C-alpha cells in the first residue's frame, strides 16, 4: 500500500458523492432508492475514495475491508452508539454514524461489494 493521488478515482468518488447527495435530498421519499441503492453505492464511493489516495495491490482485500467497515458501522447503529456519544438527531455525527440497524443495509453493502469484486479485479 502506497500513498498516491489518483485524479481519475477522485472524480469517480466526487461523482458518487453527488449521486448520494441527490438520493438523500431529491429522492429521499423513494424508500427503495434511498434504502437500498444508496447503501450499495456508499461502499462503491468508499472504494473509489480510498483508491483516490492509496495505491492498493490487492483490490479484493480492500473490498473486503470496506464491507467489514460497513458492517461494523451497522453494528454500531444496532447498539445506538450515536446517541451514546451524545450526537443529537440531525447533527453531522448522527447522520454519518446512523441510528437504525437493518439487515437490508448489510445485504445492500454486500451487493455493492459484489459488484466491485466482479468489475475490478
Segments of the chain assigned E as strands: 2-3, 54-55
Residue 121 has pLDDT above 80, yes or no: no
Task: Tell me the per-residue pLDDT of 23-81, one tens digit each, with 9 for 90 and over.
Answer: 988 988 888 898 899 999 999 999 999 999 999 999 999 999 999 999 999 999 999 89
Task: Give the three-class secondary structure for 11.
Answer: helix
Instruction: Give the integer Cα–Cα distance in Å for 61 and 58.
Output: 6
Q: Which set of grid coordinates corresponds to residue 82?
A: 450515536
Question: What secondary structure letter does DSSP report for 58?
Answer: -
Query: Are the beta carbons of 39 and 109 closer than 8 angstroms?
Result: yes
pTM over 0.85: yes
- What percentage of the chain exceeds 70 in pLDDT? 99
Amino acid at each position: 500500500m502506497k500513498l498516491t493521488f489518483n485524479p481519475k478515482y477522485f472524480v469517480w468518488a466526487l461523482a458518487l458523492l453527488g449521486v448520494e447527495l441527490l438520493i438523500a435530498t431529491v429522492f429521499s421519499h423513494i424508500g427503495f432508492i434511498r434504502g437500498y441503492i444508496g447503501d450499495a453505492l456508499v461502499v462503491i464511493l468508499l472504494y473509489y475514495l480510498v483508491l483516490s489516495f492509496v495505491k492498493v495491490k490487492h483490490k479484493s482485500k480492500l473490498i473486503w475491508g470496506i464491507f467489514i467497515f460497513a458492517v461494523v458501522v451497522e453494528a454500531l447503529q444496532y447498539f445506538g452508539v450515536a446517541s451514546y456519544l451524545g450526537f443529537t438527531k440531525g447533527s453531522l455525527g448522527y447522520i454519518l454514524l446512523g441510528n437504525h440497524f437493518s439487515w437490508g443495509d448489510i445485504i445492500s453493502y454486500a451487493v455493492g461489494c459484489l459488484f466491485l469484486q466482479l468489475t475490478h479485479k
